[in-house]
């Protein structure tokens, strides 16, 4: 089989300045396979406090020193204007954008009733709004060229994990964004997928106390995740709207489904109580459809949109 390459394509990788870091590994692999890469990172580190800094310029220089093409960008993903500035960096440098890897994130860890309002806003702004603004910024360019690949980075924390309730909430939003954009992107040649990675990165060591779990994470390398992300960013990618988990060299699909449930036209509260076992029975569940919850056949026609 031929090698999958990205020659002539321009990629943006956000949150790519950490070392060791997942974004850095994505940027390096894309560049090694021929992509021109915008290495974006605000530089404030995994908790957003600037204690452990990230360096977009260093990662970009690593790529250049290895014979690749890269440019550093230090704009924030968390605001619409600065997200557009990141995309403009790609356009000003190479005249196009083909790939977006939405990796930027912060994750101050605390229990739900302890975490500060400022940190809640920071998490939602960077993860949820950051993905929205970056996708919005590249979307018109990808539509115009009839081609694009977007890989949003989510997390299994969206299914529930102590100390990162708001992070998981934000990542759940990223999954929903991915599914919706995958549907809208079909007619424009744009494929949108998401990856839930696990690796021993500077974020892990900075945010967690040393435990046996940390030693396990040390064995999971960012470079073992990068191939899954790079495949979803490639022209040969055969799927859209998918959620892949990637860690330690293993790649798997994570998906949701619907049970057969219980039906009664005059349903009562007691019916739900008395038939809960059947409602929750996963024996013959139906997986979530690949793209969309309803066919895009014109059956839904919204009234003309009026901007607020």
Q: Which residues are catalytic?
A: 167
Helices (H) and strands (E) in the chain, counts: 11, 10
Contact predicate 239/190, CB 8 Å: no
Exposure on the CB side of residue 222, measured as CA atoms within 13 A: 19
267: left (phi over 0), alpha (psi -120 to 50) or beta: beta
Residues whose CB falls within 8 Å of the CB of residue 170, separated by 6 or more in sequence, listed in order: 123, 124, 126, 127, 128
Burial classification of residue 293, based on how many CB atoms lie within 10 Å of its CB (0-12 exposed, 13-18 middle, 19 or more buried)? exposed
Contact predicate 228/154, CB 8 Å: no
- Token pair in block for residue 221: 């390398």
Q: What is the C-alpha to C-alpha distance for residues 17 and 30, in angstroms, rounded to an integer?
A: 15
Residues whose CB falls within 8 Å of the CB of residue 285, separated by 6 or more in sequence, listed in order: 257, 258, 259, 260
Contact predicate 1/89, CB 8 Å: no
Residues whose CB falls within 8 Å of the CB of residue 286, separated by 6 or more in sequence, listed in order: 257, 258, 259, 260
- Token pair in block for residue 268: 């009562």
């Amino acid at each position: 089989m031929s090698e999958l390459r990205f020659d002539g394509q321009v990629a943006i990788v956000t949150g790519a300045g950490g070392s060791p870091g997942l974004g850095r590994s994505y940027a390096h692999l894309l560049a090694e396979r021929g992509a021109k890469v915008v290495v974006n990172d605000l530089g404030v580190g995994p908790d957003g406090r600037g204690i452990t800094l990230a360096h977009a310029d260093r990662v970009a220089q690593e790529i250049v020193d290895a014979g690749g093409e890269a440019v550093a960008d230090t704009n924030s993903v968390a605001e619409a204007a600065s997200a557009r500035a990141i995309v403009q960096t790609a356009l000003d440098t190479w005249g196009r954008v083909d790939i977006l890897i939405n990796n930027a994130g912060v994750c101050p860890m605390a229990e739900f009733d302890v975490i500060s309002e400022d940190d809640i806003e920071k998490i939602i702004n960077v993860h949820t709004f950051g993905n929205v603004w970056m996708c919005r910024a590249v979307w018109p360019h990808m539509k115009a060229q009839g081609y694009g690949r977007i890989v949003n980075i989510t997390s299994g924390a969206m299914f529930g994990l102590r100390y990162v309730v708001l992070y998981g909430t934000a990542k759940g939003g990223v999954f929903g964004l991915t599914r919706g954009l995958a549907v809208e992107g079909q007619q424009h040649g744009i494929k949108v997928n998401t990856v839930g990675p696990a690796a021993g990165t500077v974020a892990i060591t900075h945010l967690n106390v040393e435990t046996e779990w940390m030693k396990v994470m040390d064995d999971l390398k960012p470079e073992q995740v990068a191939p899954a992300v790079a495949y979803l960013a490639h022209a040969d990618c055969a799927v859209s709207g998918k959620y892949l988990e990637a860690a330690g060299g293993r790649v798997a699909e994570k998906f949701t489904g619907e049970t057969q449930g219980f039906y009664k036209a005059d349903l009562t509260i007691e019916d739900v109580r008395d038939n809960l076992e059947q409602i929750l029975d996963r024996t013959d569940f139906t997986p979530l459809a690949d793209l969309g919850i309803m066919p895009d056949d014109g059956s839904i026609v919204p009234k003309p949109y009026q901007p607020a």
